[in-house]
Amino acid sequence: MGCLWLAGIVVLAVGGLIPVWLAAVYGTTSAAAFLTYAVDKARAGADRRRVPERVLHLLALAGGWPGALVAQEWYRHKTRKVLFQIIFWIIVATHAGAVASLLYIESR
């Protein structure tokens, strides 16, 4: 789903339906989120200091949720923490609503 979202955002940006900078933000923050999850997973396996969950959520909120979702699936990381997942999916729904609102406003 994360990769599909990013592909859709690129298509919308190329089609002029959303600003190109928005696609760039999603791409950049998704890459940062994916890498941060990878670091956290490696630290967890090495019994080292972890990346705080609030950092992971802030990256998702900044637009990196697609990369975070791919990382969660790829690394099987943070998938069983119920509260973490609830907050994460609220962030995803917020982004979906914001983009839908933007598309609605742009179509008028």
| Tens digit of each residue's pLDDT (9 = 90 or more) over 17-74 | 999 999 999 999 999 999 999 999 999 989 999 999 999 999 999 999 999 999 999 9
Q: Given this model, what pLDDT does residue 106 score? A: 80
Q: Do 66 and 88 contact (CB within 8 A), yes or no? A: no
Among left, alpha and beta (phi > 0; psi -120 to 50; other), residue 24 is alpha
In 3-state terms, what secondary structure has residue 108?
coil
Cα gap 99→94, rounded to integer Å: 9
What are the tens digits of pLDDT across the range 38-53? 999 999 989 999 999 9
The per-residue pLDDT for 8 is 93
